[in-house]
A and B are shown apart, each in its own frame.
Chain A
Amino acid sequence: MEQWTRREDRRLLTGQGRYVADIAVPDCLDAVFVRSGVGHGTLRAVDCTAARAVPGVVGAWSAADLSELPAVPYTLLARLSNEESVAGREWPALVKDRVRYAGEAVAVVLGEDRYRAEDGAAEVFCHVDPLPAMVTPSAAADDSVRLFDGLSNIAFRGEAGKPVEESVWREAAAVVEGRYRQQLLMPTPMECRTILAVPEGDRLTVWSGHQMPHRLRRELAALLGWSVDRVRVVVPDTGGAFGSKSATFPEFVVVAFLAVKLGRPVRWIEDRLESMLVATRGRGQDQRVRLAADADGRLLGYELTIEADVGAYPHLGVGLPMQTAWLATGPYTTPQAYATVRSVLTNTMLTYPYRGAGRPEATIALERAMDVMARRLGLDPAELRRRNFIPPESFPYRTPTGRCYDSGNYAAALDLALETLEYDGWRAEQARRRTDPGALPLGIGLSCYVERSGGEAGGLHEFGSVEVGEDGTVTARCGAAPSGQGHETVFAALVAGTLGVAEERVRLVEGDTDEQPEGLGSFASRSAQVVGALLQHVSRRLIDEARERAARLWELPVDEVQWSGGIVHAAEDGSAAIGVADLVKVTGPLRVEDRFESGMAFPFGSHAVVAEVDPELGTVRLLRVVTVDDCGVVLNPTIVRGQAFGSAVQGIGQALYEGMTYDDQGVPVLASGLLDYLLPTFTEVPPIEVKDTCTPSPATPLGAKGAGESGCIGTPAAIVNAVADALRIADPDLLQMPLTPDVVWRAARAPKHEEEVR
């Protein structure tokens, strides 16, 4: 094993990994969906007759053919949705009468293989009368065209904090305003969504690349009208998720329903073109901010107004923008703050968590405003931030928008970022270039963030167990479900370390609801923080249980019995000793299972970017990117650094390249497929230096906070700030992400702000 960095590596590097599409089940049918070509319209007719005559097609159905087909469930988890928002707004798994997003499924065809199912899908007749498509919140908010007859397109309103008093704005030395667009992004895990449903007797086994197997089990069982023990969900190797694989999607409802109806295995392996139409989106906010400070740069008030594009149905993410509102004030002490959310339904696919999930939006709004404020006051942007950081001795710190931060040392992270970047040197270079007419302008951008990890109240716990076999092997089970984070390596090491036994003795089992009856899953950067704490807890309880058994065996008080490296022995003279395997043989199976709850944690960091802009071409070249993240105690530095680096590259994607655009019919403008959606490739990766500080979290016994979303949260604002700094434009609102050459070229021609004294 020593030649592999992670346990997962051997199988994943030799082609022995097993993803859902790799699983061969006899008589399995492939599902292909017939999808609407317009984003909004009235469904007039669907006719599957011709499809059913295609050789190899086993069946084809529209909603009218499947009157029993359940609707798509909504989620109350983490207040992502709520009863009021979904009331009267059913999300049918197949369109019944109204198409509300491009690609919404109007029929399903099952074939003996994918080719035959696609042959059948091509023969389905479908007629949709188009309605005007509302593709932006501003277009949809006035209700001139309603997605649901008789109901407003505004599906949710929320607020955090209290309105800032008028006197604050009136009396402040400086008030800056901004409008920022958080464009819609495609999470784009390399493996699209997958589900394979296999009926066996009165049970259904569901294989899916998924972050929350127990949720999927619960929701599928509910819509089948079954008890949960009749459904087993197994998550095999999963090709990335980034937040986008934790729901029960319409296609999942159809596949599970048909597998049960036909008594035959059915699978849906989403292809990329489908995913680009109908996988959930991330971000999607139009923001207005107002920030007030006194003459010394001390923040006085902050107001954030969010108009959120939540897509066609409120079921999955109508309340997601509250994550932004609750974190509005970031790492700063702000006496008064008020954030409001208005979630608007539009004719686009749903918005749902994507790596960062509400925190990038909070950070970008505030950090861009901070740079504008620094310029207004003639302060160095680093100095402005330093003057406002919540001091390390102020934790736990309750923010005006309702969060309670666990721990932090924000200045330490900023100092390390500036030192690593060689901030002063780059400022000197910037000044030099400003006097050199032949030099390309250069900018330095900072971004300091606080995020939240672990989950929301009511979802901060996890279930699991540790068991020792008669051969001395240790099996740990938990409700997590990884999609590339190396749990088998990290958690086996954690359990082995707690028990003091060799790592090779420990095996992790997760992602199987028959193995682990209860669980929450892997989301909100919670696995190390919450699941790690659980596994440490059950391991310690296992030690206690072993000591108690040995004490009974030896008729000793338990405090005279010690555990050391998998051996129980009498503390006094050491004469009595028994290996845990022998203890199991003598006293019976040794297994401890429990539920364990952690607190919320608040990772933080500072990112710094040097960017060079070519005003003639509109291109942005990142000369240096420095990320300093603090996720408390790190369980495996290699894995955390790897995630920080990859996350930073996704952050670069949001800042410079990625974004969904829709045409007038609400159809994504992606004529050349994935080639038109500009994911960063290696060519776009600048030199990135990943560093960390360590401020343990008191909210969990391990001291670990969530890792892995940092780059998506911290990097984009640093990049945009660097470009704004390079161009010195008077109106920074001109720089809306992604900063494509077109955007930058236009901004470079806009009026400059007045030169101020630094």
Chain B
Amino acid sequence: MKITLTVNGEAYPLDVEPRRILADVLREDCRLTGTHLGCEHGICGACTVLVDGEAVRSCLMFAVQCDGSSVRTVEGLAGPDGEPHPLQRAFSAEHALQCGFCTPGFLMVAAGALEADPAIGDSPERVDGLVGSNICRCTGYEPIRRAILRAAREQTEGERDGGNR
């Protein structure tokens, strides 16, 4: 089946079998291997990407369902000049990753939420909910929570500063 996926702003015209899951198509057809598969049945969240701004488990979605949609993966987080996303900087600063396998999923869950509501850092319980949606085996999660809060606060402070200027 012929589809067009727009991934990180780039159009990928593809011919894919309808049964292929989005994660496999991103990884193998688009060669964007930053999206990792941790369980392939929707539990761990490692494969989370944004589809039209919404966080989805890309192991639970067929690529053909995303025809014409805009997909964002961890490769698309950094700015066009390569400047790291505030979440990427915050994850490093808080040592919120060790083996790094689950990290892209957490980053995308957080990125979707931050973009939908830049003030999410003011509601720590909502950040808790984000962290609770995926599985990490190395960090014990607390550093991930701190990293998301840090990025969120940095973003709101940045905007306040920008508004004042």
**Interface residues of A, Cβ cutoff 8 Å to B:** 3-6, 8-10, 12-19, 21-22, 24, 113-115, 188-191, 237-240, 242, 271-273, 483-486, 638-639, 642-643, 645-650, 673-675, 679, 681-683, 685, 688
Contact = CB atoms under 8 A, between A and B. Distances in A.
Contact of A14 (B28, B40, B44, B77): B77
A190 B139 CA distance: 12
Contact of B37 (A21, A115, A483, A685): A21
A15 B34 contact: yes
Nearest to A241: B99
A9 B87 CA distance: 12
Contact of A17 (B40, B92, B100, B139): B100
B64 to A, nearest CB: 14
Nearest to B145: A682
B104 A645 contact: no
Contacts of A114: 24
Interface string B26-52: 011001111111111101101000000
B137 A13 contact: no
B97 A683 contact: no
B97 A9 contact: yes
A674 B132 contact: no
Contact of A645 (B91, B102, B135, B140): B140
7 contacts: A14-B84, A14-B88, A21-B27, A272-B44, A639-B95, A643-B138, A681-B141
Contacts of B93: 5
A483 to B, nearest CB: 6
B11 interface: no
B75 A15 contact: yes
Contacts of A648: 140
A147 B58 CA distance: 42
Contact of B33 (A9, A22, A190, A486): A22
Interface in B124-160: 128, 131-132, 134-145
A238 B137 CA distance: 13
A8 B138 contact: no
Given A113-B28, A191-B99, 19 more contacts: A5-B92, A9-B91, A9-B97, A12-B97, A12-B103, A13-B107, A19-B101, A114-B24, A189-B99, A190-B135, A190-B136, A191-B38, A240-B98, A271-B37, A273-B40, A642-B138, A681-B135, A682-B144, A688-B142
A483 B31 CA distance: 23
A454 B102 CA distance: 28
A4 B92 contact: yes
Contacts of B34: 14-17
B2 interface: no
B74 interface: yes
Q: What 4 A-B pairs come out closest when comparing CB atoms? A: A15-B34, A239-B101, A484-B99, A12-B100
Given A16-B34, A675-B43, A190 B101 contact: yes
Contacts of A239: 36, 38, 99-102
Contacts of A237: 99-100
Given A240-B99, A484-B138, A681-B135, A191 B92 contact: no
B140 A688 contact: yes
Contacts of B73: 15
A13 B98 contact: no
A190 B99 contact: yes
B141 A685 contact: yes
A642 B98 contact: yes
A237 B145 CA distance: 24
A9 B44 contact: no
Contact size class for B? 35 or more
A242 to B, nearest CB: 7
Contacts of A639: 95
A642 B139 CA distance: 6
A17 B100 CA distance: 8
Contacts of A13: 74, 84, 88, 91-92, 97, 100, 103, 107
Given A22-B33, A681-B132, A681-B141, A272 B38 contact: yes
Which of B89, B95, B98, B142 has the most chain A CB atoms inside 10 A of its CB? B98
Contacts of A486: 98
Interface of B: 17, 19-20, 24, 27-28, 31-41, 43-44, 46, 73-75, 77-78, 84, 88-89, 91-93, 95, 97-104, 107, 128, 131-132, 134-145
A3 B89 contact: yes
Contacts of B19: 115
Contact of A190 (B46, B78, B107, B144): B46
Contacts of B139: 642, 645-646
A403 B102 CA distance: 38
Contacts of B44: 190, 272, 674
A645 B73 CA distance: 29
B101 A191 contact: yes
A524 to B, nearest CB: 18
A685 B84 contact: no
A485 B98 CA distance: 6
B91 to A, nearest CB: 6
A479 B97 CA distance: 23
Which of A10, A14, A483, A647 has the most chain B CB atoms inside 10 A of its CB? A14
A682 B128 contact: yes
A271 B40 contact: yes
A271 B95 CA distance: 27
A19 B24 CA distance: 15
A679 to B, nearest CB: 6
A28 to B, nearest CB: 11
Which of A15, A242, A484, A485 has the most chain B CB atoms inside 10 A of its CB? A15
A190 B102 contact: yes
A674 B41 contact: yes
B140 A673 contact: no
Contacts of B27: 21-22
Contacts of B140: 645-649, 685, 688
A534 B35 CA distance: 36
Contacts of B40: 271-273
B155 to A, nearest CB: 16
B32 A189 contact: no
Nearest to B134: A681
Contacts of A674: 39, 41, 43-44, 135
A638 B92 CA distance: 11
B123 to A, nearest CB: 15
Contacts of A643: 98, 138
A67 to B, nearest CB: 34
A19 B137 contact: no
Given A14-B84, A239-B101, A682-B145, A646 B137 contact: yes
Contacts of B144: 682
A188 B137 contact: yes
B138 A682 contact: no
A245 to B, nearest CB: 11
A646 B138 contact: yes
A484 B91 contact: no
A6 B100 CA distance: 12
Which of B37, B93, B137, B142 has the most chain A CB atoms inside 10 A of its CB? B137
B102 to A, nearest CB: 5
B142 A645 contact: yes
Contacts of B77: 14-15
